[in-house]
């Protein structure tokens, strides 16, 4: 795991009223994982995003889903800041989390800075490795 200092941790934050996230640049072999706090279906989803080294990743699951055209209407908290996700991802996160342990997930829409074309291009090229290294997809 790459260390995350307080400055980097605070950079993933809401930067508009729609809950867009602001990301720190990734290191050369870095990728992000969404860590979902324990909870029960129907309760608020709290999470954090942390950078890890793709060459030495922790155990994680990758989520493959259809983005679709539905609006991002469901609120979750990422690093204590609200952000909005689409219904199909929200339903998946609600069902996947456990009551006792955090769950480590790679979710492209949250773990890749979608507004940074350079990062998005690099991370899309790594998706085969990201999926291959995942415990489950």
Which one has a higher pLDDT value, 42 or 104?
104
Where do the structural domains in the chain lie, given as residue ranges? 6-133
Question: What's the pLDDT score for residue 20?
Answer: 65
Q: Residues 93-115: pLDDT tens digits?
A: 998 888 899 999 999 999 999 88
Beta pairing partners, 48: 35
For the stretch 66-87, pLDDT in tens is 667 888 899 999 998 999 999 9
d(CA 20, CA 39): 24
């Amino acid at each position: 795991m790459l260390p995350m200092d307080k400055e980097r941790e605070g950079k993933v934050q809401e930067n508009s009223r729609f809950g867009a996230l602001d990301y720190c640049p990734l290191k050369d072999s870095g990728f992000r994982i969404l860590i979902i706090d324990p909870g029960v279906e129907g309760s608020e989803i709290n999470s954090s995003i942390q950078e890890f080294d793709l060459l030495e990743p922790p155990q994680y699951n990758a989520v493959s889903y259809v983005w679709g055209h539905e609006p991002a209407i469901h609120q979750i908290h990422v690093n204590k800041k609200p952000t909005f996700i689409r219904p199909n991802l929200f339903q998946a996160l609600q069902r996947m989390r456990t009551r006792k342990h955090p769950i480590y997930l790679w979710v492209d829409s949250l773990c890749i800075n979608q507004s940074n074309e350079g990062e998005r291009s690099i991370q899309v090229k790594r998706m085969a490795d990201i999926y291959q290294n995942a415990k489950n997809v």
